Amino acid sequence: MDLNADLGEGFGIWQLGDDEALLDVVTSANVACGFHAGDPSTMRRVCEAAAERGVAVGAQVGYRDLAGFGRRHIAYDYAELRDEVTYQLAALDGFCRLFRTRVRYLKPHGALYHAAATDETQASAVVAAVSDVDGSLPVLCSPGSVLAQLAAGAGLRVVAEGFADRGYLPTGRLTPRNAPGALLTDPDEIAAQAVRMATEQTVVAVDGTVVSCPVESICLHGDTPGAVESAKRVRSALTDAGVTVTPFA
């Protein structure tokens, strides 16, 4: 099972999360590419640190929305979104190559992640960008989403992702961030959810329903309170459960 985290989400003098500490724990790093968060110096620093540790780097692409942290929906034109995703992907790959590595996969961020799960136009723009830049790159996304279906249809590898620190609805979708139970903060609860995903391929929704959740990668948000401690607890719990933690890419 892969363990990924959103990293490089600071901007200028503003820092968010402990990138280096998380890179000591996770196997894949979803690095912000400067649109929803991050900047060139942050991208370079995180790529270098990931390369030193053998952590796979993925392009975490988002809306051009620094003020909203990429969590506000934008009704993009197909071609504009395709080109902005291409731009972000290529920019991060440039920094990776400085340290003899490369971008290994792509994952949408925030509002784009959710839009691409249901919106065919936005999902197809993401798919087109990946196909144009490097058709061998996997797409990390929610299982059964529109993005997953279109990416598979285009011949891209789809890697299904679950969230250890987020609540789930009975439909299998994430609980909206403004709703009760959206964010898990207790390290033991987060670890238990991760182990259940890895060993049973299920998750318990906020109403107690057991929902199918077949995933190859488990995400921890770098901006979640106690993210480093939770990541350590998750990795230890997975190992104790007999799960090998390794990059999917």
Q: What is the pLDDT of residues 24-47, one digit of tens each?
A: 999 999 999 999 999 999 999 999
The total number of residues written for the chain in this structure: 249
Q: For the chain, state the CA radius of gyration.
A: 17
SS3 202: strand
**Which DSSP symbol is given to 33?**
-
Q: For strands 217-220 and 158-163, give the pairing.
A: parallel
Measure the CA angle with vertex 165, ends 219 and 217; round to 5°: 20
pLDDT of residue 223: 78
41-78 pLDDT per residue, tens: 999 999 999 999 999 999 999 999 999 999 999 999 99
55-64 pLDDT per residue, tens: 999 999 999 9
User: Percent of the chain scored above 70 by pLDDT?
Assistant: 100
User: Percent of the chain scored above 90 by pLDDT?
Assistant: 92
113-133 pLDDT per residue, tens: 999 999 999 999 999 999 999
Q: Which residue has the tokens 């230890």?
A: 236
Task: Say if CB 3 and CB 228 are below 8 A apart.
Answer: no
Kindly tell me if the per-residue pLDDT of 221 is higher than 90. Answer: no
Q: Taking the CB of residue 66, how many other CB atoms lie within 10 A of it?
A: 15
Q: How is residue 122 written in tokens?
A: 């936005």
pTM over 0.85: yes
DSSP string, 83-94: HHHHHHHHHHHH
Instruction: Report the distance separating Cα 181 and Cα 176, nearest Å.
Output: 9
Q: How is residue 202 written in tokens?
A: 């299920």
